Amino acid sequence: MSDAAVGELFADEVVTHAVVRDVALPNEAGTLALITLDNGHDHTKPNTFGPNSLAELDAALDTIAVRDDIAAVGVTGKPFIFAVGADLNGVPLIQRREDAVAIARLGHDVFRRLGELHVPSFAYYNGAAMGGGVEIGLHCSYRTISSGVPAFALPETFLGLVPGWGGTYLLPNLIGAEKALKVVIENPLSQNRMLKGPQAYELGIADAIFEPADFLEESLAWTARVLNGEITVRRAEVDTGKAWDDAVAMARWNVDGKLHGAAPSYPKALDLVAAAKDRTRDEGFAAEDEALADLIMSDELRAGLYAFDLTQKRAKKPAGAPDASLARPVTKVGVVGAGLMASQLALLFARRMEVPVVLTDLDQERLDKGVGYARGEIDKLLAKGRVSPDKANRLKSLITGSLGKDAFADADFVIEAVFEEMSVKRKVFAEVEEHVSAECVLATNTSSLSVSEMAAGLEHPERVVGFHFFNPVAVLPLLEIVRGEATDDAALATAFAAGKALKKSCVLVKDAPAFVVNRVLLRLLAEIVRAVDEGTPIETAERAAQPLGLPMPPFVLMGLVGPAIALHVNETLHAAFPDRFPLSDNLAKLVASGKPGVYLPDFSLDPEAVEIFGGGDRPSTQEQVLDRALAALADEIRIMLDEGVVAAPQDIDLCMILGAGWPFHLGGITPYLDRSGVSEKATGRRFLAPGVASLNG
Amino acid sequence: MPRTARDVVFVDGVRTPFGKAGPKGLYAETRADDMVVRAIRELLRRNPSLPPERVDEVAVAATTQTGDQGLTIGRSAAVLAGLPKSVPGYAIDRMCAGAMTAVTTTGAGIAFGSYDVVIAGGVEHMGRHPMGEGVDPNPRFLAERLVDPSALVMGSTAENLHDRFPGITRERADAYAVRSQRKVAAAYAAGKIQPDLVPTAIRSAEKGWGLATEDEPPRPGTTPDDLAGLKTPFRVHGNVTAGNAAGLNDGATACLLAAEDVARELGLTPRMRLADFAFAGVEPEVMGVGPVPATERLLARNALTMDDIGLIEINEAFAVQVLAFLEHFKIADDDARVNPWGGAIALGHPLASSGVRLMNQLARLFEERPDVRFGLTTMCVGMGMGGTVLWENVNWEGSK
């Protein structure tokens, strides 16, 4: 038994205490021993379960198990928080499978006691519940949930685990496989979507739902009525026949289609749910122990935890950002241009910063269209109930248009979103500078042009920053903030403060061609297009990257971005690095043809596009394409790090996760390149030390 | 436009169990607004035929109106309780008679025709808001001898009352207090108090969540000997002790009033009818005598005498103040009409909330006593006042 060893790995655990207090139930229903889970911090540090927390809960259950004077046991959380699952901080330190098994078993051994006591048990989900927090309640005889619960989820598969403290066994046996898979598989697979209290109740996870104002009192009153027999809890019967198998098959098809076997957590969770209907509780839990141990000892989980940490911590404290106190207030924003991108930016600034935003364009018609678009989007939000009528009025009044740039006179932050051409952008900035104060930040949304070059010749080049959004700007969380050669700390700090106000995750990037995300994506695309130019069928090239589980195949991505933009960025990169970013004549032809990509609207290949890319006589196999693509990625990322484009491999990974949706099981990309041996083969060294995003050994 | 006054009825009333103020009390880490919200929600839950949007006003009293008892507590409690935003609310202060004043003021509004249904109540968390918190008495009070220096110390005003009624001895006061404890214990044993208590969630960082289900202050089994040895903190060799006075407490109350015809329309069951009320001022240094002139005024206006009153719920801030009232009206110390289920000396007196507790108990007593037509709820008030409400029993069977 290595419980002690596991406890040592979690030496820094913030222990969630399990405090027991007797409650006299209404209607003389007897005494309930109420366990409060509380780690002693406020809601910003939620309750979690590490081995020491589990030991406290176990001890609390010891005192309860011997009592003959109680009618029931209850479990609830601290204000606003029930519990958010296992403490993951110690997991990366686990090096032996036996320790992984021990932590899996410990969770089961403690939680299952709640379902095996001499009296009924009740979980009162009073606040956020995730992972093990959900599971502890599943072990109880009954559950109530607050309609105010903001997040209820089993996110384990998203991170690279399975809900293996009872989740994959108890949940499908409680609400059926179809509904359980929604929680165990479908939601984690959809950007880790969470349920709210009423949805969890609708799924049948909780037996009763009460409003937050007196949730505990009403839950206890309900408990008394259940114990007195006044209320009989009725649950829908679970279909363990065809419906169960069909639901598993459907989920498996969905997972395979998206991930092609790339992330082991999903198929493992599916296998557990599939078998849960025929297993005893002991068998089910034992299978969960083994699955958890396998996954804890997997590189995919280590990469997932690394990625999770990046998005939770590094994304909030950008590496290399200047002191936030240097930031100047932004009370008005200018947007040069009134095209689609400009209108989207205006909308974003107005919604998030709630300051006046003025668009300028030389053409009244374009201006009206741009302002109209932004205001129209606000009306859509109003129609969906996302903003109140008053808020809609306020936001719409914030967005105005002007033909003259004199409207920028009192702006503190002006961003340009004009045609992607250096001379045009330089001219625009020079014009803006005539009207604005010397401190006004000038930001460019260029995706590939040099920020330093754009600033050169301005009276105040130190105020120019790159502010690179990703499409759709309202959705994708990444913002690459580019420091030009002349950019000063105050302008940069103001840009970071603005990015934060826009609720974006900002990464500091050196002024280098195409910055981070586009450069990495284009190097991958260039390699794949080269293979196609050489004669590899497009279908083969598209399938090549499937084992990575990327959000979409390369040519689908090209269609989404638009072949013209892909070509433009490719040209920029070619100008800088002609060897690594060759120009594809075929790509140029595709752009010239005006086609939106190589696919037809029905997602079949466009024969004319296939024709354009035809003619090569040195086809590669799927495996060869993948090898080349990965080697190219490793090569490019190594060069970027050597050039100092970002501070560390972590920033590349963060950019790829947030800007391109690259998955957690790859850890972005560098953990995958390391563990697959590609980095050492292609560049002679790893990106990250063993153990940072992988197993040590 | 001629108006006809409408009959006003008390439909239902609830309260949280009362707790002892202070760091060890039930509600030490519970907010006052959460307590009154809990009472309001339970009141609505107990009267499901009342559409919440039909509530025209939420009047909540508190003596100290800052922090969790501030922010115009009636309105903030209404919002927190989940009442429709269209339901207004406000805060009331007449110190100990806060909830009583919430009832009389909104009740008068119903009679006038301006409201159909109201919620009235009070809250005092004396642990979070000790008596006198943040007060800044005008120096003219003393400079111009507008009040005696003892007027702002309630215990001292009670000692002053012993001076005015020399026949009320420490022994009589203690004996009264012992009876109050016994009556409360008996009422609890008979299940008389519990029906209007709202179990209320309590939490402490150390002990976790719990549930307050019973009053914390009562000391059943108290004997005269127990009380005889207690100190007299307000005057050396005085008469007023912790045993013959109400303690420092936390609690919240809420009741539902309606125009009688509206109650009928909505299917609400009236328990008693608001017949009349009166407030009166006295010298602040003997504030405990306040119920006497208030009651005299009320009886005179309604052509009643004390013989017409079958039940009296008098707040027991101090035993001497109850005894002064009884002596004035020539009622025996142990008259069965007076606080049959005991009073604040045992149950506690969270200042501004107590007025509705008296009404809850009178309403329950009326149900048991269809032979009684009229009852009083009365209490003394700091700064020298008294308030009395005359209630008519809807269960009264007439003079058969």
Tell whether B86 lies on the interface with A, counting CB pairs under 8 A: no
Residue of A216, A218, A225 to mutate when probing chain B, most B C-beta within 10 A: A216
CB B271 within 8 A of CB B367: yes
The 3-class SS string of A266-327 reads HHHHHHHHHHHCCCCHHHHHHHHHHHHHHHHCCHHHHHHHHHHHHHHHHCCCCCCCCCHHHC
Q: Which residue of A19, A24, A40 is in closest CB contact with B207?
A: A19
- Distance, in angstroms, between A47 CA and closest chain B CA? 14
**Chain B CA closest to residue A33:** B210
Query: What is the torsion angle, in degrees rounded to the nearest 10, for the CA atoms of residue B70, residue B73, residue B76 and residue B80?
Result: 110
Residue A363, Cβ density class (10 Å: 0-12 exposed, 13-18 middle, ≥19 buried): exposed
**Chain B CA closest to residue A75:** B209
Angle (CA) B240-B241-B246 rounded to 5° is 95
Which secondary-structure segment (H or E) carries A6? Answer: helix A3-9
A105 pLDDT exceeds 70? yes
B294: CB partners within 8 A, 6+ apart:
B278, B279, B280, B378, B385, B386, B387, B388
CB B99 within 8 A of CB B252: no
Q: Which residue of A21, A24, A213 is in closest CB contact with B207?
A: A21
DSSP state letter for A665:
G
Query: How many Cβ contacts (< 8 angstroms) between chains A and B?
Result: 56
At B397, list the tokens: 């069977």
Q: Which residue of A19, A26, A213 is in closest CB contact with B41?
A: A213
DSSP state letter for A403:
S
Using DSSP, state whether B56 is helix, strand or coil.
strand
**Chain B CA closest to residue A124:** B209
Tell if the CB–CB gap between A36 and B38 is shorter than 8 Å.
no
Which residues on chain A are in Cβ contact (under 8 Å) with B201? Answer: 214, 216-217, 220
pLDDT of residue A472: 86
CB B258 within 8 A of CB B110: yes
Which residues on chain A are in Cβ contact (under 8 Å) with B207? Answer: 19, 21, 36
A2 pLDDT exceeds 60? no
Q: Report in angstroms the alpha-carbon separations of B242 from B21, B169, B392.
A: 14, 16, 34
Which residues on chain B are in Cβ contact (under 8 Å) with A40? Answer: 205
CB B99 within 8 A of CB B256: no
pLDDT of residue B399: 66
Region for residue A684 given its phi and psi (left: phi exceeds 0; alpha: psi -120 to 50; beta: otherwise)? left
pLDDT of residue B81: 98
- Distance, in angstroms, between B118 CA and closest chain A CA? 21
Please tell me the least confidently modeled range out of A3-12, B131-140, B164-173.
A3-12
Distance CA B71, CA A670 (A): 55
Residue of A16, A20, A21, A28 to mutate when probing chain B, most B C-beta within 10 A: A21
Tell if the CB–CB gap between A214 and B206 is shorter than 8 Å.
no
Tell whether B42 lies on the interface with A, counting CB pairs under 8 A: yes
**Chain A CA closest to residue B210:** A23
pLDDT of residue B400: 56
Q: Which residue of A211, A214, A216 is in closest CB contact with B209?
A: A216
A571 pLDDT exceeds 60? yes
Angle (CA) A123-A129-A134 rounded to 5° is 55
A54 pLDDT exceeds 50? yes
Tell whether B195 lies on the interface with A, counting CB pairs under 8 A: no
Q: Which residue of B81, B82, B210 is in closest CB contact with A23?
A: B210
pLDDT of residue B1: 72
pLDDT of residue A448: 85
Residue that is written with structure tokens 């130019």 in the block: A533
**Chain B CA closest to residue A211:** B82
Which residues on chain B are in Cβ contact (under 8 Å) with A36? Answer: 203, 207-209
A312 pLDDT exceeds 80? yes
Domain boundaries, chain B: 146-192+275-391
At B154, list the tokens: 């309630």
Length of chain A: 697
Distance CA B308, CA B337 (A): 11
Domains, in order of start, for chain A: 3-297 (3.90.226.10), 324-510 (3.40.50.720), 517-644 (1.10.1040.50)
Residue that is written with structure tokens 């809890």 in the block: A233
* Largest Cα span, chain B: 64
Q: What is the pLDDT of residues A149-196, one digit of tens each?
A: 999 999 999 999 999 999 999 999 999 999 999 999 999 999 899 999
Q: What is the pLDDT of residues A413-454, one digit of tens each?
A: 999 999 989 999 999 999 999 999 999 999 999 988 999 999
Q: Report in angstroms the alpha-carbon separations of B26 from A135, A281, A653.
A: 32, 41, 52
Catalytically active residues of B, by annotation: 96, 349, 380
At A596, list the tokens: 């939106």
The percentage of chain B sitting over the pLDDT mark of 90, rounded to a whole number, equals 97
- Distance, in angstroms, between B16 CA and closest chain A CA? 12
Residue type, A251: A
Q: What is the pLDDT of residues A529-556, one digit of tens each?
A: 999 999 999 999 999 989 899 989 999 9
Which residues on chain A are in Cβ contact (under 8 Å) with B37? Answer: 213-214
- Distance, in angstroms, between A397 CA and closest chain B CA? 27
Question: ω into residue A472 within 30 of 0, thus cis?
Answer: yes
Distance of CA B163 to the CA centre of its chain: 26
Tell if the CB–CB gap between B211 and A221 is shorter than 8 Å.
no
Q: Which residue of B199, B206, B209 is in closest CB contact with A76?
A: B209
CB B354 within 8 A of CB B300: no
Tell if the CB–CB gap between A24 and B208 is shorter than 8 Å.
no
CATH code, B146-192+275-391: 3.40.47.10
Mean pLDDT of B17-35: 97
Which residues on chain B are in Cβ contact (under 8 Å) with A24? Answer: 211, 213-214
Tell whether B94 lies on the interface with A, counting CB pairs under 8 A: no
Mean pLDDT of chain B: 97
A644: CB partners within 8 A, 6+ apart:
A510
The percentage of chain A sitting over the pLDDT mark of 90, rounded to a whole number, equals 92
Residue type, A624: Q
Residue of A217, A219, A222 to mutate when probing chain B, most B C-beta within 10 A: A217
Report the DSSP pairing between strands B208-212 and B19-20.
Answer: unpaired
Residue B103 sits at φ, ψ, to 5 deg, of -70, -45
Angle (CA) A521-A542-A259 rounded to 5° is 85
CB A505 within 8 A of CB A316: yes
Which residues on chain A are in Cβ contact (under 8 Å) with B28? Answer: none
A658 pLDDT exceeds 90? yes
Distance CA A631, CA A527 (A): 10
Which secondary-structure segment (H or E) carries A373? Answer: helix A364-383
Angle (CA) A605-A606-A607 rounded to 5° is 105
Tell if the CB–CB gap between A213 and B37 is shorter than 8 Å.
yes
CB B3 within 8 A of CB B112: yes
Tell if the CB–CB gap between B209 and A214 is shorter than 8 Å.
no
End-to-end CA distance of chain A: 22
**Chain A CA closest to residue B201:** A217
Tell whether B199 lies on the interface with A, counting CB pairs under 8 A: yes
Tell whether B211 lies on the interface with A, counting CB pairs under 8 A: yes
A1 pLDDT exceeds 50? no
Distance CA B27, CA A281 (A): 42
pLDDT of residue A321: 95
Using DSSP, state whether A349 is helix, strand or coil.
helix
**Chain B CA closest to residue A31:** B211
Q: Report in angstroms the alpha-carbon separations of A90 from A52, A289, B243.
A: 11, 17, 57
B327: number of CA atoms within 13 Å, CB side? 19
B317 pLDDT exceeds 80? yes
| Rg from Cα positions in chain A | 28
Tell if the CB–CB gap between B214 and A220 is shorter than 8 Å.
no
Tell if the CB–CB gap between A21 and B38 is shorter than 8 Å.
no
Tell if the CB–CB gap between A216 and B213 is shorter than 8 Å.
no
A76 pLDDT exceeds 50? yes
CB B269 within 8 A of CB B11: yes
Mean pLDDT of A116-134: 98
Q: Which residue of B80, B199, B210 is in closest CB contact with A26?
A: B199
Tell if the CB–CB gap between B213 and A26 is shorter than 8 Å.
yes
Distance CA A281, CA A301 (A): 26
A523: CB partners within 8 A, 6+ apart:
A573, A580, A581, A632, A633, A635, A636
Residue of B34, B209, B213 to mutate when probing chain A, most A C-beta within 10 A: B209
Length of chain B: 400
Mean pLDDT of A343-363: 96
Tell if the CB–CB gap between B209 and A217 is shorter than 8 Å.
no
CB A668 within 8 A of CB A310: yes
- Distance, in angstroms, between A21 CA and closest chain B CA? 6
Helix A299-309 and helix A265-276, axial crossing angle in degrees, nearest 10: 110
The pTM of the full predicted model, rounded to 2 decimals, is 0.94
Distance CA B183, CA B333 (A): 14
Using DSSP, state whether B184 is helix, strand or coil.
helix
- Distance, in angstroms, between A69 CA and closest chain B CA? 17
pLDDT of residue B278: 98
Tell if the CB–CB gap between B211 and A23 is shorter than 8 Å.
yes
Which residues on chain A are in Cβ contact (under 8 Å) with B76? Answer: none
A387 pLDDT exceeds 90? yes
Mean pLDDT of B217-222: 97
Distance CA B103, CA B107 (A): 6
Residue of A16, A20, A22, A23 to mutate when probing chain B, most B C-beta within 10 A: A23
Residue A71, Cβ density class (10 Å: 0-12 exposed, 13-18 middle, ≥19 buried): middle
Q: Which residue of A34, A213, A217 is in closest CB contact with B208?
A: A34
| Rg from Cα positions in chain B | 20
Mean pLDDT of B342-362: 98
